[in-house]
Amino acid sequence: MLTENEKDILKYVRELAKNTIKPKAREIDEKMYIPEDIIKAMNDMELFASYIPEKYGGYGLSFPFLMRVIEEISYACPSTALVLDGALTLFAEPIMMFGNEEQKQKYLSQVAKGLIGGLAITEPNAGSDAASINTKAEKSGNGYKINGTKIFISNGRLSKFFIMDASTDKSKGYKGITTFVVDADTPGLEVSKDIHKMGIRGSSTVELSFNDMYVPEENIIGKYNEGFKVIMETLDAGRVGVAAQALGIARSAFDEALEYINTRKQFGRKIIDFEGVQFILAEMESRIKASELLIAEAADKWNKKEDSIEISSIAKMFASDTAVYVAERSLQLFGGYGYTIDFNAERHMRDAKITQIYEGTNEIQKIIIAKEIMKNHHL
Ligand SMILES: Cc1cc2nc3c(=O)[nH]c(=O)nc-3n(C[C@H](O)[C@H](O)[C@H](O)COP(=O)(O)OP(=O)(O)OC[C@H]3O[C@@H](n4cnc5c(N)ncnc54)[C@H](O)[C@@H]3O)c2cc1C
């Protein structure tokens, strides 16, 4: 449940999304770049500060509120939503959960001012199997020397800092992983490649290379060799963010198709008047509503610090499948016009697909859900 204050702010977020972000969404997709004034507009509305606790310069608004913000911005442009989502759920959240007081003062206060962060875990040979990373952190003086490569890192070019993990004791598998916070301008850290994509093309996705990057001991987030837990718990929040992003895409695809078929006529009737089409609408609407409910429950549980592993994965899987389904059906309802770049239908379809893949593919979500079922039934 949102507070009255949060509901009021959400009205302004909707206006920002509609009047400032949506008109630029096509250009963002084509130029593969988010104009600085768009990010500034989100920051001027204090959206980066919204979720940061008051103690660190933010407003301490709730996680369900943040999820609604992500959804509304994604309704206009999911690439832009990912800038905020990445900075808050993927970078700030692990510091809020596991950081010490000094780290919180240093980094959260900067995010509250609109500085962007990212999360770097995926590697060329360690995607779904996130525990099999090869990036190594070796003891050196009062810190660590890090070598390795991370791939597909969102907010790559925009980030001032990253949360990243590295193997500190390969023989111990996931129990030998440590998580660090690093500034993007640390010597030895390089954005080594820009990755061009089918959708969310405005989002900067990069390869990061670490060559003898020195990181002091105090940059460890959480405990030495307990970094895997930091990453896994971060993703429990992050997955709700992906679900909210997916829901925004689905709602946008639905609304635009609805408007179109209510105007377009064939066989002397509006397209919407054909029963076969109404069945599609009913199916879309049902899946969108179910996604809303799942996201609300997952966000509420996360906010209350209750166990949300299963519901986060269910929400992420269901909402992303919904986004792909709705975007595809929406395009179909536009007929040939949907296949052109004169309408957003094709962009919605391209943007929707990533939500089934990142922060754990939907196959991985099923593995998580099944594990939770077995755990909860003591099997
Ligand atoms: C645009 C984009 C942005 C991203 N942003 C980030 C980011 O900011 N930070 C970050 O760290 N990562 C990021 N990622 C990485 C993303 O999380 C991974 O791509 C994803 O987890 C899958 O890993 P993979 O690509 O290596 O696929 P793989 O793990 O190689 O999987 C290939 C296929 O095999 C399936 N599969 C794998 N294991 C199993 C199994 N046990 N059972 C059944 N099926 C299985 C998968 O579901 C998938 O269909 C991003 C990726 C993209 C494309």
pLDDT digits (tens, 9 = 90+) for 126-144: 999 999 999 999 999 999 9
Pair (300, 278) in one structural domain = yes
Best mutation site among 361, 363, 364, 369 for ligand 1 pocket (most ligand atoms within 8 Å of CB): 361
Please tell me the pTM assigned to this model.
0.98
Residues annotated as part of the active site: 359
Same domain for 196 and 241? no
Cβ neighbours, 10 Å, residue 120: 30
Q: How many domains does the chain have?
A: 3
Residue with the nearest Cα to atom 44 of ligand 1? 363
| C-beta separation of 243 from 291 below 8 A | yes
Ligand 1 centroid–CA 313 distance in Å is 15
Which of 174, 203, 227 terminates a domain? The answer is 227
Clarify whether residues 242 and 371 are in a common domain: yes
> Looking at the structure, do residues 243 and 355 belong to the same domain, yes or no?
yes
Residue 316 confidence (pLDDT): 98
Last residue of a domain, one of 175, 192, 227: 227
List the structure tokens of 356: 């089934």
Looking at the structure, tell me whether residues 313 and 343 fall in a common domain: yes
Q: Say if residues 283 and 290 touch (Cβ distance below 8 Å).
A: no
Same domain, 161 and 267: no
Q: What is the reported pLDDT for 63?
A: 98
Q: In the chain, which residues have pLDDT < 70?
A: none
| Residue 25 sits in the same domain as residue 148 | no
Does the Cβ of 359 fall within 6 Å of ligand 1? yes
The pLDDT assigned to 64 comes to 98
Question: 264 lies in which domain range?
Answer: 235-376
- Which of 227, 247, 279 marks a domain boundary? 227
CATH of the domain at 332: 1.20.140.10
262 shares its domain with 217: no
C-alpha 316 – ligand 1 centre gap (Å): 14
Q: Is the CB of 317 under 6 A from ligand 1?
A: no
Any idea of the CA torsion for 183, 189, 191, 193, to the nearest 10 degrees? -150
Specify the pLDDT at position 1.
Answer: 86
Q: What is the CATH number of the domain that holds 82?
A: 1.10.540.10
SS3 149: strand
| Same domain assignment for residues 214 and 242 | no
Instruction: Kindly report, residue by residue over 149-195, the tens digit of the pLDDT.
Output: 999 999 999 999 999 999 999 999 999 999 999 999 999 999 999 99
Q: Which pLDDT belongs to residue 179?
A: 98
In a shared domain, residues 275 and 355: yes
